[in-house]
Amino acid sequence: MKLLRGIREFRRFLGADRRLVFALLLAVVAALATVSVPYFLARITDVIFAGVVSAKLPAGITHEQAVEQLRATGQEDLANIAQTSGAVPGTGIDWSQLGPAPAVAVVAIVVVAVSRISSGLLVNTAVQRAIRGIRERVERKIHRLPLTRLEGRRRGEVLNAMTVDVDNLATVIGPLFVQLPVLFLTVIAVAVALLLLSPFFALIAFATIPVTAGVAVVVLRYAKPHMERQWRTTASITAHVEDVYGAHDMIAAYDGHRQTTRQFDELNRRLEKATRSGQAWSGSITPVLTFCNAIVFVVIAVLGALKMLDGAVTLGTLQAVVMYTQQLAAPMSELTSTMPKLQSGFISFGRVRQFLASTEESAPAVDDAPVDEHARHRLPPTVSFRGVRFAYDDGAPVLHGVDLELPAGRTTALVGATGSGKTTLTGLLQRFVDPTGGRILIDGEDIADMSRSQVRSQMAVVAQDPWLFTGTAGENIDYGVQHGRPVDDDMIESLLSGLPSGRDTEVSGDTGLLSDGEKQLITVARALAADPHILILDEATSAADPRTELVIGRGLEALRNRTTTLIVTHRYSTLATADSIAVLADGRIIEQGTARELLAAGGEFARLYGSPHGAADPA
């Protein structure tokens, strides 16, 4: 029942595909044609064998007379064979008795081959289309997840869901929706054929079925936890490799390769143990079935020979029994070897489905209609935080009623101790998360009433960790251009002049060819290309040396002249350029003013940056 329920859930998950239906129909045709072949071959064998026996009998007498003569001379076994074969003494092989059997057998074999090839092609196409659809769903899901959901996961685990688990699903779609039904149908058809042919031999052949079922149940029960552990550990290894690759410079700097190697070795040992245990259980099915099938074949061969000598069966019937027994053993063996694969696939299916069932961001930006250029603010807007409160899902409060005004076209700096909520505030402004209380207004309009795309289309962000897409510096900058609007090419070229190949410099998010300062140059140029109306600078010059900071500062100055700018920084040199500085502490704005005014006031800002005469850049 669990298997059937799982198949139904899997079917709903994949959606309808007529290719799988047609593939199943072709596979059914192939299975039925396969079952018919032993019958026609048995007919051919009986005719030929009867002709061989008749050639050894004296001509001119009847069939009954020949049987009586053999019994009279003590040749009981040959008499029984002659009697059951219906041999006519002295006639030899009567080819006319074959009838259409050979042609039908050849046609059946051709039908089997064509049907299996066609079914395989259809299954392959359906599987690849289904897997492509699943990958697209996973990719679309990523864009719909709340930022907090992604921050709570290692990138390697998401990567594993998109690659390893999805690829594992591909190996079970065909067996689940085509191979498995055909195997059951083949077993039923062969069982019926055996019962019609010889109930005695059918019961002998059926002796393996309860053994097979029992072994399969035991193996699946004990193999499942090992398979689950295998896929969990595979995801952990993928995440570990991703983490190590992304932090290889830091690992080398701290000589941490021994620790990461120990962690990898431990994960690798766990994966080896889980895989070995799972495969040991799974691999135990085939030897057991092979042994059982060997016993059945020996019993059928011995008893069949005895019954043939007794005249109870013909050679063709015995041949058909053996062939049907093989056809029964093959799907049973294939079925039991498929079950662990299906179990593994269902584990991956559960992991992928769990990821796709993750809670989505309300009204994700990816679903928004394109923002009309004319609907954007044409002048820098005023941004207002009014009583903004925020707490994470675990209930930990971060902001306790922030009131802050960002005047239109002015630069406001936000400072505070580590963990005071500065980055959380910028995330709220970008609608990565929504406040648990209060409102954020852009020119008097609550951003909660605007789509996320409407909010973010007005902004450009230069973050502390500059993330770049693999490609050239120019391609990364063009990513910021919206609606084909012209950009400040002169300033952008000035920013890029410090790169090895200017716009054509090859970059990526993990490249070690560029310094962090050079990466920040590119992100600043990208923000300049976006020509935003709201500019967010989150430690935008944290990795820059003084010269690079000066170059970045000139580029940002060009933006600040026509934007409303929010700066999050610890650098006093950057703070000094702000029109106003707001100090965030304990989730509230506790003081605000210019750098000189705040230093003179002797409050939290003065505590962080010293006296007016001794203010220093803490960076």
What is the reported pLDDT for 613?
A: 43
What is the reported pLDDT for 66?
A: 75
CA distance 409 to 564: 4
What is the reported pLDDT for 388?
A: 93
Cβ atoms 505, 452 nearer than 8 A: no
CA distance 124 to 113: 17
What is the reported pLDDT for 453?
A: 82
Number of Cβ within a 10 Å radius of residue 156:
20
Cβ atoms 181, 24 nearer than 8 A: yes
DSSP at 589: E
What is the reported pLDDT for 566?
A: 92
- The hierarchical CATH code for the domain 373-609 is 3.40.50.300
User: Which residue reads 């395989």 in tokens?
Assistant: 120
Extract the residue ranges of the chain whose pLDDT is less than 70: 1-4, 6, 16, 60, 147-158, 160-161, 220, 242, 245-256, 282, 285, 363-378, 394-395, 480-489, 509-513, 541-549, 551-552, 555-556, 558-561, 611-619
b/e 524-549 (16+ beta carbons within 10 angstroms → b): bbbbbbbbbbbbbbbbbbbbbeeebb
CA distance 81 to 59: 17
CA distances from 138 to 161, 232, 434 (A): 8, 18, 24
3-state secondary structure 412-466: EEEECCCCCCHHHHHHHHCCCCCCCEEEEEECCEEHHHCCHHHHHCCEEEECCCC
CA distance 15 to 24: 16
CA distance 551 to 558: 11
What is the reported pLDDT for 412?
A: 92
What is the reported pLDDT for 3?
A: 61
What is the CATH architecture assignment of 2-356? Answer: Up-down Bundle (1.20)
**Helix, strand, coil content of the chain in percent (nearest 5):** 65, 10, 25
Chain centroid to CA 464: 31
Query: What residue spans define the domains of the chain?
Result: 2-356, 373-609
- First-residue to last-residue Cα distance in the chain: 65
Tell which residue, 131, 221, 216, 223, has the closest CA to residue 168.
131
What are the residues facing 382 on neighbouring strands?
Answer: none
The residues, ordered by sequence, that sit 6+ positions from 50 with a Cβ below 8 Å of its Cβ are 85, 86, 87, 88, 93, 94
Chain centroid to CA 614: 57
